[in-house]
Amino acid sequence: MSLYGMMRTGVSGMQGQASKLSTIADNIANANTNGYKRFSTEFSTLVVNAGAGNYNSGGVVTSVRQAVSQQGVLQFSNSASDLAIDGAGFFVVQDASGNSFLTRAGSFVPDADGSLINAAGFYLAGYSYENGEPSVVVNSFDGLEPVAITGGELEAVASTEARFAANLPAEEPVVTGTLASANTATSEYTEKTSMVVYNNLGGETILDIYYTKTASNTWEVSVFDQADAAPGTSFPYATGPLSTQTLTFDNVTGQMTGPTSMTVPVPNGLPMNLDMTGMTQLATGFVVSRVDVNGYGPATIERVDFGSDGIVYAQYTNGTTEPLFRIPTATVNSPDQLRSLSGNVFTQSDMSGSIRLGFPDEGGAGAIVSGAVETSNVDIAEELTEMIQSQRNYTANSKVFQTGSDLMDVLLNLKR
């Protein structure tokens, strides 16, 4: 038996228990840290050699692991910008220098610029809708920017898309006189409706839409600017039709067979695509079934909503809703092998696998829950129990070292 080996083994045991006590201390200190993932110390044997008649003790080797994949309890709050991921995945956040990290800590609040920032000073990153519907860059953080919401500035968006669907009465007679598109005082039409759209400055423009049956299963659609109408909003208009289109229908099913859309140049605005998919010609009255127009007049953001799919919606004071950003989620093959950094964030390691970006609730990623935060996955009762056990083990190992030291004294005293 080697007394030195015995003492080294005692020291090894004390070092291992000290490491365990350190992880327990961190866990207890961060028990109330949102998104914190508990650390644990795992032990494995260290064997120097084991002879038949002589045994040299080795000791213990420790490795620290973090339970990143273990989800904490979701705690609900009154703040819509408090976000949690129910399932796998991480938020992507950025520091002040634009470096990207992963986190589960989703307690975000707007800063002075409207950017959403968490308690550790990291900004929530997402894809902007400014240039259209975003797509995710699966293997890179390129294209991400801080999610910023500014509600004090007036904004207006011109109309570029509209959808209109209605039933045109199949039993109406064919108009044989002057058509609406001719724009004369004697113009005739079968049905009429109006629609509000928005110009470049957010001003409202009312479009008068005339439907004229010109032949069996054939209708003419003419769009006019109501501001140019004669007194009583009727013919003749000061200018001709903004756009005209001919619709044709199947005599058996009453469904459209001809063009389904037309381009309408909105006065002082942008060209607007009027999609008429869904128009029918059936033996009943003129019934409007759908009217949708994008764009809105001058308004400020009244509130912000976060969808489970990661889309950040702004609801304006005029009642309209528009998407601003879409928040991605990041996943890795082995979350427990991610490298942990200060601020409750993670980065990729050699053992974790590469980071993949996607949208929430897709491809195995969890859904985003608004008005909730993920609490720490630390169990205080378990940590205190582990602490008492580790303390006892540390004491026992110190006794081993002390016994070895006493035996060394006995050995040295043999000379005397």
- SS3 state of residue 26: helix
Query: In this structure, what DSSP letter does residue 177 have?
Result: S
Q: How confident is the model at residue 7 (pLDDT cuts 50, 70, 90)?
A: confident
Confidence at residue 401, expressed as pLDDT on a 0 to 100 scale: 85
Query: What stretch of H or E contains 3?
Result: helix 3-29
Q: How confident is the model at residue 337 (pLDDT cuts 50, 70, 90)?
A: very high
pLDDT digits 0-9 by tens, 137-178: 999 999 999 999 876 678 888 999 999 999 999 999 999 999
Mean pLDDT for the stretch of residues 107-133: 92
Contact 122, 109 (CB under 8 A): no
Question: Average pLDDT over the chain, rounded to whole?
Answer: 91
pLDDT digits 0-9 by tens, 278-320: 999 999 999 999 999 998 888 888 889 999 999 999 888 888 8
Tell whether domain 156-298 is in CATH 2.60.98.20: yes
Closest by CA to 43, choosing from 414, 389, 408, is: 389
Q: How confident is the model at residue 414 (pLDDT cuts 50, 70, 90)?
A: confident
In the predicted model, is pLDDT for residue 72 greater than 90?
A: yes
Confidence at residue 152, expressed as pLDDT on a 0 to 100 scale: 64
Confidence at residue 53, expressed as pLDDT on a 0 to 100 scale: 66
Q: How confident is the model at residue 52 (pLDDT cuts 50, 70, 90)?
A: low
CA–CA dist 84, 308 (Å, integer): 10
For residue 55, how many other CB atoms are within 10 A of its CB?
14
- Considering only CA atoms, give the Rg of the chain: 36
CA dihedral 286, 289, 294, 297 (to 10 degrees): 70
Considering the chain, what percentage of its residues have pLDDT values greater than 70? 97
In the predicted model, is pLDDT for residue 73 greater than 70?
A: yes
CA dihedral 135, 139, 140, 146 (to 10 degrees): 50
**Domain ranges for the chain:** 3-67+377-413, 80-149+328-372, 156-298
Contact 373, 82 (CB under 8 A): yes
CA–CA dist 267, 196 (Å, integer): 12
pTM for the full predicted model: 0.71
In the predicted model, is pLDDT for residue 321 greater than 90?
A: no
- Is the preceding omega at residue 236 within 30 degrees of 0, hence cis? yes
Mean pLDDT for the stretch of residues 364-376: 94
Confidence at residue 51, expressed as pLDDT on a 0 to 100 scale: 61
Please give the residue that has the higher pLDDT: either 393 or 55: 393
Please give the residue that has the higher pLDDT: either 9 or 244: 244
pLDDT digits 0-9 by tens, 22-40: 999 999 999 999 999 999 9
Considering the chain, what percentage of its residues have pLDDT values greater than 90? 75
In the predicted model, is pLDDT for residue 56 greater than 80?
A: no
pLDDT digits 0-9 by tens, 200-241: 999 999 999 999 999 999 999 999 999 999 988 789 999 999
Mean pLDDT for the stretch of residues 328-344: 94
